[in-house]
Amino acid sequence: MELQLLFAVFAGIALLLFLILKLKIQAFLSLLIVCIAVGIFAGMPATEILETMKDGMGSTLGFVATVVGLGALFGGVLEQSGGAQRLASFLLKKTGDKRAPWAMMVTGFAVAIPVFFDVAFIILVPVTYALSKRTGKSLLLYALPLLAGLAITHAFIPPTPGPIAVADILGADLGWVIVFGFLAGIPAAIISGPIFARFISKRIKIEPKTFSEEIEYDEEKAPSPGLIISIILIPIFLIVANTLVQSPLFDGVSIPGSILYTIELVGHPFSALIIANLIAWYFLGVKRGMQKEFLKKVATKSFQAAGIIILLTGAGGAFKQILINTGAGEMIADALNNAWFNPLLFGFIVAALVRVLQGSSTVAMITAAGITAPVLTGGEYSMAQTSLIVIAIASGASILSHVNDSGFWLVGQYLGLTEKQTFKTWTVMTTLIAVVGLLVSLILWFLI
């Protein structure tokens, strides 16, 4: 049975790569074909295969479809108003061409601490589009540093769900996790962000696409950078406020029920993006003289661009669910539990295996934490060492994002990359994050 599961998983991944890279079959169709193939190879009943695909698609799209749709609409209005270009111009004047990728990395690093990766990426990606258009350089030079900052803090630094869950399972101290998250995250962001982006952008030139029709940009008529920054910060502020009231910082603090209810309602990514869209439509559209028909056209064009992203991300979620239901990732990790490893390396390897096999970094982190926790039982590990294992697990769960990760499709489609280009950029970037995170964790392990 174990060999059958392993064959199903690896054969499925090989088949998907063959369909996409060799036969050039559309990725959405390829993913659905492979979902069925893996289910058959694993011996799943026919009805269970189809139900698993439906559940995986539905659970993924329940969040992603709403966020991508609202984010595409937000980006379309921002772009059509000239706001993204105006903000890019402002950013370039402050940082200069050479430091703009670093500014995007810092922005991503800061924003993703309280905000979901998907939401933060969708909110900020129009700025990278505008920077690329303005400078004439590859979109990758600006998008990859942003993605590096977002991905690292999403995985390494609480209050994002992954590190909080792992710290809780292992009994690590959140304070130490935050400190080590920054110590490992900063060099990882620098290497996988601006440095790697400078290297790869010279070899892969990506022209930024648009979510809506192009219009002539007039900087004098464009909204002010202050207004644009304020509108972008609105959903971030609302989500941060909700995150903070749910965090241990507010344990024991008495908050009136009506206030707590309001914060929870408007601080959800759905509500926050709806509010941001309404404000953007008024201040960037209606108030600046855009006609209703033009705004409707912008919205229609924005949703058209978002459609393929939503479908591919959902199909990636279906594939992930098929792989999860085989239990192959957990089976291999359990086998490793019988061998001896440094617990930090053990956690990294388990997380990396689960990540590669089933795609989701959060699932990989939680699964690896559950399997690593018994390894720590009876060991005399300090709180600092236990917290370093959290970072190692987060590093392993970040590695080698590929076709079974919905993020692979989300990033590839938003940046206009082919599957091969996504492997050369996004997949390599996530692997650099993992390797640097592991190396820093090991160095700190032997220093403390």
Q: 329-336 contacts: CB < 8 A, separation 24 or more?
A: 329/353, 329/354, 329/357, 329/358, 329/364, 329/367, 330/354, 330/367, 330/371, 331/2, 331/5, 332/6, 332/357, 333/367, 333/368, 333/371, 334/371, 336/371
Q: What is the 3-state secondary structure (H, E, C) of 182-209?
A: HHHHHHHHHHHHHHHHHHHHCCCCCCCC
Which residue shows structure tokens 């941001």?
Answer: 276
pLDDT of residue 218: 60
pLDDT of residue 376: 76
Token readout for 35 is 């979902």
Using the predicted structure, report yes or no on whether residue 255 has a pLDDT greater than 60.
yes
Strands of 206-309, DSSP E: none
Helix 428-447 to helix 174-190 angle (10° resolution) is 130
pLDDT of residue 87: 67
**Whether the Cβ atoms of residue 157 and residue 115 lie closer than 8 Å to each other:** no
Using the predicted structure, report yes or no on whether residue 407 has a pLDDT greater than 80.
yes
For the chain, the structural domain boundaries read: 2-208+224-447
Give residue 414's pLDDT band: very low, low, confident or very high (50, 70, 90).
Answer: confident
Out of 103-112, 114-123, 192-201, pick the least confident: 114-123
**Whether the Cβ atoms of residue 302 and residue 211 lie closer than 8 Å to each other:** yes
Q: What backbone phi and psi angles, to 5 degrees, belong to 219? A: -60, -35
Vertex 54, ends 49 and 55: CA angle to 5°?
100
Using the predicted structure, report yes or no on whether residue 212 has a pLDDT greater than 80.
no
Percent with pLDDT over 70 in the chain: 85
Q: What is the distance between the alpha carbons of residues 416 and 424, in angstroms, rounded to a whole number? A: 13
Token readout for 389 is 């294992």
Q: What backbone phi and psi angles, to 5 degrees, belong to 418? A: -75, 170
Q: The whole model's pTM is what?
A: 0.71
Provide the mean pLDDT of the chain.
82
Share of the chain residues as helix, strand and coil, in percent rounded to the nearest 5: 80, 0, 20
Mean pLDDT of 121-126: 82
Out of 239-253, 385-399, 406-420, pick the least confident: 239-253
**Whether the Cβ atoms of residue 389 and residue 170 lie closer than 8 Å to each other:** yes
- Please report which helix (H) or strand (E) contains residue 438, including its range: helix 428-447
Out of 59-73, 146-160, 328-342, 412-426, pick the least confident: 328-342
- Residue 141: half-sphere exposure toward Cβ, Cα within 13 Å: 21
Q: What is the distance between the alpha carbons of residues 394 and 150, in angstroms, rounded to a whole number? A: 14
Token readout for 319 is 């594939």
Using CB atoms within 10 A of its CB, is residue 298 exposed (0-12), middle (13-18) or buried (19+)? buried
